[in-house]
Amino acid sequence: MTGATANVPVIAVAGLECRYGANVVLRDVTFSVRRGEIFFVIGGSGCGKSTLLRNLIGLHPPAAGRVEFFGESFADAGEARRRELLRTFGVLYQGGALWSSLTLNENVALPLAEYTALTAAERDELVALKLAQVGLSGYGDHYPAELSGGMRKRAGLARALALDPAVVFFDEPSAGLDPLTSRKLDDLIREIRDTLGTTCVVVSHELASIFAIADRVLMLDKSAKGVVAAGDPRELARGGNAQAREFLLRGENQP
């Protein structure tokens, strides 16, 4: 992921349609995410945020339209290329989704063992670094069940960062966290972007996080079944789109 791809958007989505059976959840979704930005997908509950995420990361095939990472689509890629494309991003799932039968060390080490030729010693060192990055040094031998929800999410983030992906997807990072822990996770997201240049795509409806770290937002709506607004959250909060303004202003006036 170096210079050659600099001008290509990290993610380009064109005319995406998502559906479950006959039920259309989203239609004609078009947007692109630039390198190194923190991009939020926002909207009320049930508007299709998580569905969009599942489509983006290839867990659910799009009914129509294209999703491209650095100009390439999962749909066109062969098996081997698909595995390489999968390596360009990491995902922090809502509950962390750590593999419950493995310790934190093993969780972070598994993608490394799968994709790299590192020696066991190098791998251990890297795992320790990743856990330190998310503030979980010394918890490597714990099992996920022994951790709090916030720690599990941070461990999930360490695992998502294991292969130094160009993009990290966050599914509702603040869900189930108290405001302070959620704030710390926001700071962590920004720090990762600033230090590693990682592009962050965050699915969230947490207004505090949106105003704290989002560079741009994409707002989805249930009744519109698609995008209603996109842009800088502060501008949207003052801007012409009534729906986006209403959604965002409810948070800006809060202390």
Partner 1 sequence: MPVPSVATAETAPRVSAHLEGGCLHVVLGGRWRITAPRPAWADALRGTEDAGNPPPARVELKFAGDLLGWDSALVLFVGEALRWCRGHDAYCDLSALPGPLRRLADQLTGAADPADAPPPEPAENFLAHVGHAAMDMWQKAGEITAFVCECALGAARVVLAPRKFRWRDCFDEMQQCGAMALPIVGLISFLTGVTLAYTGAIVLRQYGGDIYLADLIGLAMVREMGAVMAAVVLAGRTGAAFAATLGNMKAGEEIDALTTFGIRPVDFLVLPRVVALGVMMPLLALYADAMGVIGGMAVSYGLLNISVTAYWHEMMMTVTQRSINIGLIKATAFGLIVGLSGCLRGLEADRSAAGVGRAATSAVVTALLLLVIADAFFAVAFNALGW
Residue 91 binding partner 1, by CB under 8 A: yes
C-alpha atoms less than 13 angstroms from C-alpha of 128 in its C-beta half-sphere? 7
**Which CB sits closer to partner 1, 6 or 145?**
145
Q: CB 251 → partner 1: shortest distance, Å?
A: 25
Residue with tokens 């005319």: 15
**Which CB sits closer to partner 1, 31 or 115?**
115
Contact call for residues 245 and 219 (beta carbons, < 8 A): no
**CA gap 79, 213 in Å, rounded:** 36
Q: Count, in order, helices (H) and strands (E) of the chain.
A: 9, 10
Nearest Cα residue to 100 out of 145, 149, 164: 145
- The one-character DSSP state at 4 is G
- The one-character DSSP state at 135 is T
Contact call for residues 39 and 56 (beta carbons, < 8 A): no
Query: What mask of x and - would describe binding to partner 1 in positions 106 to 145, judged by CB under 8 A?
Result: ----xx--xx------------------------------
Residue 39 binding partner 1, by CB under 8 A: no
Residue 34 binding partner 1, by CB under 8 A: no
Interacting stretch for partner 1, rule CB under 8 A, among 25-33, 97-105, 184-192, 233-241?
A: 97-105
Residue 190 binding partner 1, by CB under 8 A: no
Q: CB 84 → partner 1: shortest distance, Å?
A: 8
Amino acid identity of 106? E
Task: Point out which residues bind partner 1 (CB under 8 A).
Answer: 23, 57-59, 82-83, 86-87, 89-91, 93-95, 97-101, 110-111, 114-115, 159, 223
